[in-house]
Amino acid sequence: MLDDSEFTGDHVWWMTSRGPSPVVGTAIHNGHAVRQSLVDRMALSEDERLREEDPFTAETIHDLSNRIVFQRSRFEVDLNRARDGAVYLRPEQAWGLDVWRKPPSEAEVAESLSLHDAYYGMLENYLRDVEARYGSFVVLDIHSYNHRRMGPAAAQTALEDAPEINIGTSSMDRARWAPVVDAFMGFCADFEFLGRRLDVRENVSFQGRGEQTRFIHERFPKTGCAIAIEFKKIFMDEWTGVPDWQAIAALRSLIAASVPVLESALREVA
């Protein structure tokens, strides 16, 4: 399996791997690279971009046979937004941030959107191959979220509003995929994470309304179960970007150990 560090240059769009399993992991907000013509126009610093990206999510799926890791920043193009909103042009699209010192030209926007088109073309072909081999599949759509938005010294988001693992299911046929989703949530809740159990809840801070899960459920309504997974940033300092490698390793172990559980549950649906 290839080391992700080999695929972090500005010239790389995404990295994929394929192996013998119907479980696929994606990290589409992991990337930080932005093409130079856009960097020159941006008002945001690298640290400000990093705060709203999902660094280290690729690490959590590193042991899966099937992986898709997007290497571009969501500030270049956000794959989890519909095409018409995939390039942030106004502050309300980007958590109130003024992204641009000089807005991108129509040609620059078109270039970014062509990457959105190319990714979803690749994704459908990739998943068609998994579907042809196994009949059905599960996509673990891994993201992360901030819980100290008011500042590094401010109180974190209230615990009732911020599960450590938020499972988003709104775009799926929840009844059809209940054996898979319930098995995964139960496994996560029982997993020993650094000597304790994690708070795992469904559709609390996020509901799984992103473009990737919507796309998968539209294209593969009977065969594709895409679970939107938001890890609260308990594995890093969201203000400094400093990782907690022990926590990252534990989340990586959780995802790896969930594969046989997911494969067994998928057979129940089939």
**Tens of pLDDT, residues 101-147:** 999 999 999 999 999 999 999 999 999 999 999 999 999 999 999 99
Tokens in use for 19?
A: 């192996």
| Structure confidence by residue, pLDDT tens digits, 194-253 | 999 999 999 999 999 999 999 999 999 999 999 999 999 999 999 999 999 999 999 999
Confidence of residue 10 (pLDDT cuts 50, 70, 90): low
Residue with tokens 């065969």: 223
Q: Report whether 262 contacts 224 (CB < 8 A).
A: no
| Structure confidence by residue, pLDDT tens digits, 20-52 | 999 999 999 999 999 999 999 999 999 999 999
| Structure confidence by residue, pLDDT tens digits, 169-202 | 999 999 999 999 999 999 999 999 999 999 999 9
The residues pairing with 145 across neighbouring beta strands, listed in sequence order, are: 232
> Does domain 4-269 fall into CATH 3.40.630.40?
yes
Q: Report whether 225 contacts 266 (CB < 8 A).
A: yes
The residue ranges of every structural domain in the chain are: 4-269
Question: Which pLDDT value is given to residue 19?
Answer: 98
Longest distance between any two alpha carbons in the chain, whole Å: 53
Confidence of residue 3 (pLDDT cuts 50, 70, 90): very low
Question: Which pLDDT value is given to residue 153?
Answer: 84
Q: Report whether 138 contacts 198 (CB < 8 A).
A: no
> Is the model more confident about 259 or about 152?
259
Distance CA 191, CA 189 (A): 6
Q: Is 131 helix (H, G, I), strand (E, B) or coil?
A: helix
Confidence of residue 4 (pLDDT cuts 50, 70, 90): very low
Q: Report whether 157 contacts 149 (CB < 8 A).
A: yes
Question: Which pLDDT value is given to residue 11?
Answer: 78
Q: Classify strands 14-17 and 66-70 as parallel, antiparallel or unpaired.
A: antiparallel
Distance CA 26, CA 32 (A): 15
Residue with tokens 């939107």: 228
Distance CA 72, CA 18 (A): 21
C-beta pairs of 267-270 under 8 Å, 24+ apart in sequence: 268/179, 268/180, 269/136, 269/176, 269/177, 269/179, 269/180, 269/225, 270/135, 270/136
> Is the model more confident about 25 or about 9?
25
Question: Which pLDDT value is given to residue 7?
Answer: 40
Instruction: Provide the H-helix boundaries in the chain.
Output: 36-39, 46-52, 57-60, 106-134, 178-190, 211-219, 245-269
Count of C-beta atoms within a 10 Å radius of residue 160: 9
